[in-house]
Amino acid sequence: MEFKHYMKVNFPNLSLKPPLFYSWDVGIRFELGANWIKEDCAEESFYLKGVYERVITLFRSLHSPEEEIFVVANVNDFGDNGTFKHRINIFSLYVKDKAVLYKLKHTELCFL
């Protein structure tokens, strides 16, 4: 399904602009961290491994592998307010499976 059509059908009158979470009447939050200690937030820490495990478990519980998912990322170049001159690769750092990465479609939108 095309993103703009999906938004029109499921979220009419929602403008995709910061702060997105507060722009719609319905929202849900999950507490992913517990007993946070600033000193224990190194990249390979036990704490962050627990957070990652909870995120992945939650995601897999909510979505099937065949499901189409739209990911919206707010990227601001703080420049001349123009569009980016090149394609951004914000997901390549986080998506380790190259087959999944190549399935991703990138669409640049101004605030809807």
pLDDT in tens, 30-84: 888 777 766 666 777 777 888 888 899 999 999 998 888 888 877 765 555 555 5
What backbone phi and psi angles, to 5 degrees, belong to 41?
-115, 25
Q: Tell which phi-psi region holds residue 65, choosing left (phi > 0), alpha (psi between -120 and 50) or beta.
A: alpha
Looking at residue 32, its amino acid is L
Question: Same domain, yes or no, for 105 and 87?
Answer: yes
Question: Same domain, yes or no, for 25 and 75?
Answer: yes
pLDDT reading at 99 higher than 70: yes
Render 49-75 in DSSP notation, one character per residue: HHHHHHHHHHHHHH--TT---------
- The range of the structural domain enclosing residue 54 comes to 31-66
Question: Same domain, yes or no, for 81 and 111?
Answer: yes
Question: Same domain, yes or no, for 82 and 109?
Answer: yes
Percent of the chain with pLDDT strictly greater than 70: 79
Q: Residue 9: what pLDDT?
A: 93
pLDDT, averaged across the chain? 78
Question: Same domain, yes or no, for 22 and 75?
Answer: yes
Question: Same domain, yes or no, for 23 and 43?
Answer: no
What's the total number of domains in the chain? 2
Question: Same domain, yes or no, for 60 and 41?
Answer: yes
Question: Same domain, yes or no, for 45 and 75?
Answer: no
Question: Same domain, yes or no, for 49 and 101?
Answer: no
Question: Same domain, yes or no, for 57 and 77?
Answer: no
In angstroms, rounded to a whole number, what is the distance separating the alpha carbons of residues 69 and 64?
Answer: 10
Distances (CA, A) of 73 to 35, 45, 86, 90, 100: 28, 26, 16, 9, 18
